[in-house]
Amino acid sequence: MKKVQGNDAFQRINFLYQASKCISENNAALSSYYGNLIVNIAKKNVLKIHPDIKRQLCKKCRCMLIYNTTAKMKIKNKNKSKIIEWTCKSCGTKRTFPASKDDDHSLWVDRPEAVVEVIKQE
């Protein structure tokens, strides 16, 4: 059986992510503190944060971006492609993501060629 490096750090990141998501409606400052802890733990242990988690954190204040609670979402058309624009309500930072149906804008992690080895924990 192969050991996963940084397993305890991943568990802590998972807990902080869930806590940040739960508390974001009531206390945006605490949510951004948990977001900062997530990024700092990943940097300290030289780990990559999953892209789905990264997309839900504001780049500036690290608050959890949740539709109609901590962030606004707009769908825009730009040069024959759709773009999703998220705006953080606490700091006003905007993030854009491609969302076109005809083009393949899936994440590299979601593609089958990205999987090298599957580790099962028993």
Integer Cα distance of 12 and 63 in angstroms: 17
What is the domain partition of the chain in residue ranges?
A: 7-114
Distances (CA, A) of 36 to 9, 23, 41, 54, 78: 14, 14, 9, 12, 32
Tens-digit pLDDT profile for residues 40-65: 999 999 999 988 899 999 999 999 99
Integer Cα distance of 30 and 90 in angstroms: 12
pTM, full prediction: 0.77
- Torsion angle of alpha carbons 114, 118, 119, 122, nearest 10°? 150
| Region of residue 80 (left: phi > 0; alpha: psi -120 to 50; beta: else) | left
Tens-digit pLDDT profile for residues 54-113: 999 999 999 999 999 999 999 888 787 788 899 999 999 999 988 766 556 666 666 777
Question: pLDDT class for 121, splitting at 50, 70, 90?
Answer: low
